[in-house]
């Protein structure tokens, strides 16, 4: 299991369309992946879970992955989160 702190740079945060892209990316990996914010942890592959964290621009989150492709999973999700992806 590995963890990584990431700052979300997406202008509207992980809401609506960007959250969908995030979940699709998370689902492309075999590892179990979680997102943690303010001591709340949700499944990164769950749209409702990610939306419930109310992640806005410049929010720091912790990504946690456990599995055979955990490093690739965190690298991919970090890149997406910090890319500033716009809707």
Positions marked catalytic:
15
CA 63 to chain centre: 6
| Structural tokens at position 52 | 């419930």
Secondary structure (DSSP) of 54-78:
---TT-EEEEEEESTTHHHHHHHHH
Cα gap 52→78, rounded to integer Å: 19
């Amino acid at each position: 299991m590995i963890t990584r702190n990431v700052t979300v740079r997406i202008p509207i945060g992980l809401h609506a369309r960007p959250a969908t892209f995030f979940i699709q990316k998370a689902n492309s990996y075999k590892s179990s992946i979680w997102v943690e914010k303010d001591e709340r942890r949700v499944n990164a592959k769950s749209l409702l879970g990610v939306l419930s964290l109310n992640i806005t621009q410049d929010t720091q989150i912790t990504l946690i992955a456990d599995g055979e492709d955990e490093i690739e999973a965190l690298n991919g999700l970090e890149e997406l989160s910090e890319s500033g992806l716009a809707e």
